[in-house]
Amino acid sequence: MQNHPEDQPENAPAEGEYLPPAQAQEPASQQRGRSARGIGAAAAGLGVLALKFKSLLLILLKFKFVLYGVKLLAYSWTFLLSLWLYVLVFGWRLAIVLLFVILAHELGHYAAFRAYGLQARLPVFLPFFGAFTAGAVPANLEQDAYIALAGPLTGLGLAAVCYGIGVATNDQFWFACADVSAFLNLFNMIPSPPFDGGRVIGAIWPPLWLAGFVLFIGLSIVLHVPIIFILLIGLIGFPAMRAAWRGDVDPRAATMTNAARVRISVWYLATLLGLIVIMGQAHGMIAASPRGVL
């Protein structure tokens, strides 16, 4: 009997057709075991990765200076900008001396703020105008005066160390560093706002600011200070001097005693005298040198 295609089942193989051997169906238990092994391997990999990150976190927490370094870097761009501009104008040796003298001065303010338990920001540099350190307002004017004096005092200490190294090594470079540090901090002792000396005198007797500003004008003329710098200082200090002329006083002045004013005056005059002596000695050693220094 002859078979016809229409009589064959739909999925029946045609005569002579090759059929591959049927794949054996994997038992369900083996499939679950393989899936479990895959999940276990992934979990183990995640565990190793977590341990590595945990170790890194522990290192960062242990070495807190890394975190402080990141914070310092956020503020350092103004320092780097000032350094670059100073190098272009003054050359790299004098630029480095100037920047580190200013940095030491501002860190003195920062340390004083922190010593009184006050919040303070790291120094911010203003190219060709120095730098400033912002902090919380002290409880009384005596603390305010000592925070202002901390900058020049730190500069005095730096100048003394540089002068001592110069004497020990007979290297004129260190005398130049002492001279620069003493001069910049001495200039900052002018008893007029916005200088540090102005804040100190503000705790003693604010009307002296007017005499201090006249002194600033005279020194600026002698030292050939650019007129733009004189105008800027006058603009910044004018509101405080006008208030002093009108008799408006800081409310904290009511708690100031004569003994506190005497203490501040002694510290101010001692710092002033120390800076003058160091600058005079260092300048004399530089003048006696037959060759340039910086």
- pLDDT tens for 152-208 read 999 999 999 999 999 999 999 999 999 999 999 999 999 999 999 999 999 999 989
pLDDT value at 117 more than 50: yes
* Per-residue model confidence (pLDDT) at position 215: 93
Torsion of CA 148, 153, 154, 159, to 10 degrees: 140
pLDDT on residue 56 = 46
Q: Can you read off the two tokens belonging to residue 1?
A: 């009997």
- Is the pLDDT assigned to residue 30 strictly greater than 50? yes
pTM: 0.73
Token readout for 259 is 């003994």
Does 272 have pLDDT greater than 90?
yes
pLDDT of residue 65: 52
pLDDT tens, residue by residue, 211-247: 999 999 999 999 898 898 889 999 999 998 888 888 8
| Inter-residue contact 187 to 219 (CB < 8 Å) | yes
| Whole-number Å distance between alpha carbons of 294 and 289 | 12
Query: Rounded to whole angstroms, how far apart are CA atoms 140 and 116?
Result: 11
